[in-house]
Structure 1
């Protein structure tokens, strides 16, 4: 069955791996197309049983507590993005010559003949912001678009829905790209590459290779980060369509075929006549919200993809002005006694936390959680000069404490052992004691949240709530 387009699903035996957010809709869609669907799931808890009952009522077979065995007669596996490539089910599939697709590949296969082209965004950090900026720019150009993919709006829903789009802004994770062999974007960007999810991919090399898949078969532009050579290397390695160009973005002055910044203005030297001599002004740095360096990089990447699609310069400016960042992304919560409190709970890895720490001069840093295999020496060494103090929380805080002892031994550290719901309140109280007027108390954990919170949103909410209580206590 390869990765060619499947048009007739009637009677095809498809195994869906994992219930979850993508598994349930995928099973329903495939069943609706006439496929014979079996869902396998490792877990057998209350939630899984409820989802199974819903699917079984439609006539779909569900096997709970057995995600390792390949069901008899399987012709295709559609997997949830979180399932690791080394699972026994996939080894069995490979042995039997059965292809494995993710939800993104399924959506790509199910597009209609006049489907909207995809502008694809991946990278370790900044994906969601860049995709939302891109959608805002495309809308400002009068195009029918949506921000979809890894950000909550299901690609399957969009591809199979009645609404017609001119172009889609698609966020793709490394997991999704791993299982999307035939995806071919109009244009794509890898924003940056830093060690992340190595427990899933097995190595940095495998992780980078999966990110690089986003460039395969690009038609117009492969956009890369000039400051991150690994992203340019991936462009070089990609097999693209004739005439597709490499386009860089930089926070410095752009060379020809790049977008960059000159005297506080975002400029384009890639999508203009005579790139050697000409540059097109797109927007001012002040049009980017917030104008932190890594966010200006996101804006340039979004602008590059929009320009690759033929969007006029004015729409870039209008789209960036209209964009509002999501909660928990460098969100200013309040000022209390001259100290700024900033929530960047979304900084779930060291690369994101590093970008966040670089945005402030004097910081009391709240950090810690689940490290996901990360190391913290480089992050701490880079931020040491800016740290007034550190408050550590969460399961893997010792790893950060050890890095601080090595690279910032003079910085005071408060190590909070408690992991109950009041821990964040305690962390904010400790941070307040360490902070002086003019400092920033920054929640940029550099770790995942699931050891203490349901997700990074809940962690950020707990921080904001604790800060508001401080403010009320200070009579603010």
Structure 2
């Protein structure tokens, strides 16, 4: 299916099972029901919230089965799943045995775009282990700077279904896609797409690094204009080579060094483009200054270059790249400066939930008291510690899997003082900040970059970051 084609499905009387209530399942069930499908929603949970959601859907005439997400309802012709449901769940195994296709919410949105009779907006897609949300929001800011009607959607929290079926007619969408979403999106064909980086993550879900990378690589399938890859991460370029793209689609690299032809990069503090210029062998176009990027940490410059590459692939002029980057402000809990206390900076990067993100965060500072720990998700920490050892003034550990980080520190940075907090309650953060402050010296940065997920102690990484910021501000008030 070509990138500009819109799939038409006769939904009337089609038996569709929607797997999972929540931010993707409920809009999917509603949209399919409105188009005449016979929808049954299945959900593993049967708590008070699920029952309330079920009652709303049942009032519309949608069948809901709570507490049984494993059994494939009779007559099912299609399963539409929430992205987080693992591929080896009995429901999907039964669907495969019955020859029933499984789509995710992204696939459904892709199939339904243009269904309301309007022109389907092209998608500029971003995936990768880290940096997706920031890059997509940077991209949307650049597109807005040139006057295009756009939105940052997808895994970023704004439902793609709402975007493609809502009242706003967009010129282009900036779409964040997770590996989960791409796994269930077989016919997605973006205008242009970027894989920012690849590092081990969610391997318990995908089963192997190879399977994880393959799902990320799906974002390049059928691209029409540009496949954007990270020069510093050869695995991303390998995915471009393996992709089946439209004729004329180009491979566009981004690098923190001086760019070669068909690349974007950095020269003397300037972001430059040698890909979308008339003579890329001899010319480069200035796009913005490093100082236009907030914050100007190396990995965030890489995000800006990837966003710029996708915008330029869509025909955006250089001035809009600069204006969009200047207007962009990062989300909370992403290398967010909280306060300076006694010449020590306190920085919240609670979003660094894996080792790859934490490696980039640690690389942004020279002398660090590192607060880390949580749920490791199968990760190992030796390489992370080896790379950061010389920057570490001290480490404060907390959370369920802190021992894994402690063992790596013992092996590779035995001289670095470590405070091991034997607690997993939410109040541990206040103690962690206090102990980090004791280790810090003027000029240091106390950095929350946990390298782990948060759910052992907090509802999500936002709550973890808020706890850190609250503890820092309380300490700042005491020292004022």
1:366 is aligned to 2:365: no
- Picking from 221, 239, 252, the partner of 1:247 is 252
Q: Deviations over 1:43-77 (max 9, x none)?
A: 11222111111111111111111111111000000
Question: Which ranges of structure 2 fall in alignment gaps of 5 or more residues?
Answer: none
User: Does the 8 Å CA contact 2:358/2:451 hold for their aligned counterparts?
Assistant: yes
| Aligned-partner SS, 1:472 | helix
Cα-Cα RMSD: 1.0
1:438 is aligned to 2:443: yes
In 1, Cα distance between equivalents of 2:52 and 2:380: 39
User: Does the 8 Å CA contact 1:130/1:301 hold for their aligned counterparts?
Assistant: yes
In 1, Cα distance between equivalents of 2:174 and 2:84: 22
Q: Deviations over 1:161-220 (max 9, x none)?
A: 111111100000000000000000000000000000111001000000000000000000
In 2, Cα distance between equivalents of 1:379 and 1:47: 40
1:405 is aligned to 2:410: yes
Q: What's the CA shift for 1:21?
A: 1.6
Q: Deviations over 1:135-186 (max 9, x none)?
A: 0000111111110000111110010011111110000000000000000000
Q: What's the CA shift for 1:7?
A: 2.6
User: Does the 8 Å CA contact 2:6/2:120 hold for their aligned counterparts?
Assistant: no
In 2, Cα distance between equivalents of 1:396 and 1:93: 36
In 1, Cα distance between equivalents of 2:147 and 2:40: 43
In 2, Cα distance between equivalents of 1:132 and 1:45: 34
1:185 is aligned to 2:190: yes
- Picking from 427, 436, 453, the partner of 1:448 is 453
Q: Which residue of 2 aligns with 1:104?
A: 106
1:200 is aligned to 2:202: no
Q: Which residue of 1 aligns with 2:343?
A: 338
Q: What's the CA shift for 1:472?
A: 1.1
In 2, Cα distance between equivalents of 1:223 and 1:199: 27
In 2, Cα distance between equivalents of 1:208 and 1:6: 30
| Aligned-partner SS, 2:476 | helix
In 2, Cα distance between equivalents of 1:83 and 1:69: 14
In 2, Cα distance between equivalents of 1:106 and 1:277: 44
For normalisation by structure 2, the TM-score amounts to 0.97
How many aligned positions are there? 473
1:420 is aligned to 2:422: no
Q: What's the CA shift for 1:33?
A: 1.0
In 2, Cα distance between equivalents of 1:19 and 1:36: 16
Q: Which residue of 1 aligns with 2:226?
A: 221
Question: Which ranges of structure 1 fall in alignment gaps of 5 or more residues?
Answer: none
1:318 is aligned to 2:323: yes
Q: Which residue of 2 aligns with 1:44?
A: 46
In 1, Cα distance between equivalents of 2:166 and 2:58: 24
User: Does the 8 Å CA contact 2:6/2:113 hold for their aligned counterparts?
Assistant: no
Q: Which residue of 2 aligns with 1:119?
A: 124
| Aligned-partner SS, 1:20 | coil
1:153 is aligned to 2:158: yes
| Aligned-partner SS, 1:44 | coil
Q: What's the CA shift for 1:5?
A: 2.6
- Picking from 233, 238, 251, the partner of 2:238 is 233
In 2, Cα distance between equivalents of 1:365 and 1:386: 10
User: Does the 8 Å CA contact 1:4/1:182 hold for their aligned counterparts?
Assistant: no
- Higher mean displacement: 25-34 or 221-230: 25-34
Q: Which residue of 2 aligns with 1:377?
A: 382
In 2, Cα distance between equivalents of 1:161 and 1:49: 27
Q: Deviations over 1:198-254 (max 9, x none)?
A: 110010000000000000000000000000000000000000000000000000000
In 2, Cα distance between equivalents of 1:360 and 1:312: 33
1:70 is aligned to 2:91: no
In 2, Cα distance between equivalents of 1:6 and 1:137: 32
User: Does the 8 Å CA contact 1:124/1:194 hold for their aligned counterparts?
Assistant: yes
Q: Deviations over 1:114-136 (max 9, x none)?
A: 11100000000000000000000
Q: CA separation of 1:4/1:92 partners in 2, compared to 1, >3 Å: closer, same or farther?
A: farther
Q: What's the CA shift for 1:394?
A: 0.7
| Aligned-partner SS, 2:23 | helix
Runs of 4+ in 1 over 6 A off after TM superposition: none
In 1, Cα distance between equivalents of 2:312 and 2:145: 13
In 1, Cα distance between equivalents of 2:383 and 2:276: 36
| Aligned-partner SS, 1:307 | helix
In 1, Cα distance between equivalents of 2:446 and 2:367: 9
Q: What's the CA shift for 1:4?
A: 9.0
User: Does the 8 Å CA contact 1:334/1:342 hold for their aligned counterparts?
Assistant: yes
User: Does the 8 Å CA contact 2:133/2:176 hold for their aligned counterparts?
Assistant: yes
In 1, Cα distance between equivalents of 2:309 and 2:381: 32
The 5 A counterparts of 1:45-60 are 45-60=47-62
